[in-house]
Amino acid sequence: MKKLLILGAGTAGTMMLNKLANELDSSEWSITIVDQFETHYYQPGFLFIPFGIYNKKDVIKPKRDFFPTGVEVIVSGIDKIEPKENRVLLQNNQVLTYDYLIIATGTKIRPEETEGMMGELWHKNIFDFYTVEGAIALADFFKRWEGGKLVLNITEMPIKCPVAPLEFVFLADSYFTERGIRDKVDIHFVTPLPGAFTKPKASSILGDFLTKKNIHLTPDFSLARVDNENKKIVSWDETEIPFDVLVTIPTNMGDDVIERSGMGDELNFIPTDKQTLMVEGYDNIFAIGDCTNLPSSKAGSVAHFESDILFENFLDVIEGRKPRAKFDGHANCYIESGFGKGILIDFNYDTEPLPGKFPLPGVGPFSLLEETKMNHYGKVMFRWMYWNLLLKGKELPIESNMSMAGKRL
């Protein structure tokens, strides 16, 4: 019996489990997946909770609903990976050995990395929306808020889902307009990047949306500390921005198990070959999703496209071939822009987001880098696709590598 071990049953780990359980001969392979939690979160839905569009029950399901039959599931924290011994130690004291390992341990917010962020105002006037607890606390706050200075800040890059902070301020504009108090709410978007987004063309177009929606942008702001007493954020070069409510995207880091195993970089992300998805230095370990150091977005769509590539390369490697499939960094993101509309971007390592139609040239139905109702429906439909197709490892009608068809240079 050959042993495949998957660490992490989030979006990426669950997709790989389903794809491979379906493919590998169960008389030759035993498959084990380990995760410390029993609940699966639909993380793209967290964004909607503060604005009362979704509640907690819209974004959770038991992980067991998505596990195929015939695989071993272990609910435990992971103590340490010993890659040279092909062995993993669990926090429940079990020791697992493997022939092949897939690491999908994700990324977490680390508010404690910034001085003052978890001070007395944490979850009172300072909120995150990357955890369900933070998103719900913020929903409660907004319900009773009469207006004032709303500051959103990105602490440092990279972060999970780099478009979510923009979506948040767009939705805030829409939400407070509908509540009739938009004139009393000053919305401020603060980022360490030189503009609204990471790539130049999208940055300029999305920056124009900020202006149009009367959202103030402060670029090049690297957060040093949060001053709870005076309610302001302070940058390393001592620029200060006051807030009444701070919605922060804290530092993102890979799981502590990666650090304990000595397998990560300074943010606990795993050095991974950006094309084959094999962990550098090992010929039987793959990494997928947010836990890697790939220069691509940390997002579910990226994990999905990676899963197709990893699947092919896994079959190559177990049959003694060199991995032939190459990941191109493809990301596809629906950006909610408020008032029932959305913007779509599609890009990879080498091609920045461009305007045009998607997926069919000239037809769409989706429009790239433009605000349309159809793009919003794409996002709404996606939750159904996520639960029913994506997690179960089924085919989606989008190619894993990016296509230039329909894009305008």
Partner 1 sequence: MSTIEIAGKTLELDADGNLANLSDWNEDVARELAKGEGIEELTDRHWQVINYMRKVYQENGDAPSIRKLTKESGVDTKELYSLFPKGPAKKSAKIAGLPKPKGCI
Residue ranges in contact with partner 1 by CB under 8 A: 156-158, 198, 220, 222, 224, 235-237, 265-267, 295
C-alpha distance across the termini of the chain, in Å: 52
Asked if 287 contacts 254 with a C-beta cutoff of 8 angstroms, the reply is no
The span from the CA of 56 to the CA of 385, in Å, is 19
The least distance separating partner 1 from the CB of residue 286, rounded to whole angstroms, comes to 21
Helix, strand or coil, per DSSP, at residue 318 = helix
Q: Which is nearer to partner 1, 114 or 261 (CB)?
A: 114
The least distance separating partner 1 from the CB of residue 393, rounded to whole angstroms, comes to 29
Q: Which is nearer to partner 1, 131 or 198 (CB)?
A: 198
Q: Which is nearer to partner 1, 146 or 237 (CB)?
A: 237
The span from the CA of 291 to the CA of 332, in Å, is 19
The least distance separating partner 1 from the CB of residue 19, rounded to whole angstroms, comes to 28
Q: Which two tokens stand for residue 382?
A: 């996606």
* Residue 190 CA: distances (Å) to CA of 161, 215, 226, 249, 252: 16, 10, 13, 10, 17
The least distance separating partner 1 from the CB of residue 264, rounded to whole angstroms, comes to 12
Question: CA angle 34-39-44, nearest 5°?
Answer: 110
Q: Which is nearer to partner 1, 174 or 198 (CB)?
A: 198
Q: Which is nearer to partner 1, 178 or 265 (CB)?
A: 265
The least distance separating partner 1 from the CB of residue 237, rounded to whole angstroms, comes to 5
* Residue 248 CA: distances (Å) to CA of 237, 295, 341: 19, 23, 24
Instruction: Please confirm whether the linkage preceding 158 is cis (ω < 30° from 0).
Output: yes
Q: Which is nearer to partner 1, 156 or 328 (CB)?
A: 156
* Residue 256 CA: distances (Å) to CA of 43, 100, 228: 20, 21, 28
The span from the CA of 378 to the CA of 370, in Å, is 13
The span from the CA of 331 to the CA of 358, in Å, is 13
| Cα dihedral 121, 126, 131, 137 sign | positive
Q: Which is nearer to partner 1, 13 or 162 (CB)?
A: 162
Strand partners, 207: none
The least distance separating partner 1 from the CB of residue 199, rounded to whole angstroms, comes to 8
Q: Which is nearer to partner 1, 281 or 295 (CB)?
A: 295
Going by C-beta distance under 8 Å and a sequence separation of 6 or more, which residues neighbour residue 229? none
Q: Which is nearer to partner 1, 86 or 198 (CB)?
A: 198
The least distance separating partner 1 from the CB of residue 266, rounded to whole angstroms, comes to 5
Torsion of CA 108, 204, 345, 11, to 10 degrees: 0
The least distance separating partner 1 from the CB of residue 63, rounded to whole angstroms, comes to 31
Q: Which is nearer to partner 1, 256 or 316 (CB)?
A: 256
Identify each DSSP E strand in 60-124 by its residue range.
60-62, 72-75, 78-82, 87-90, 95-97, 100-103, 107-109
The least distance separating partner 1 from the CB of residue 287, rounded to whole angstroms, comes to 17
The least distance separating partner 1 from the CB of residue 165, rounded to whole angstroms, comes to 15
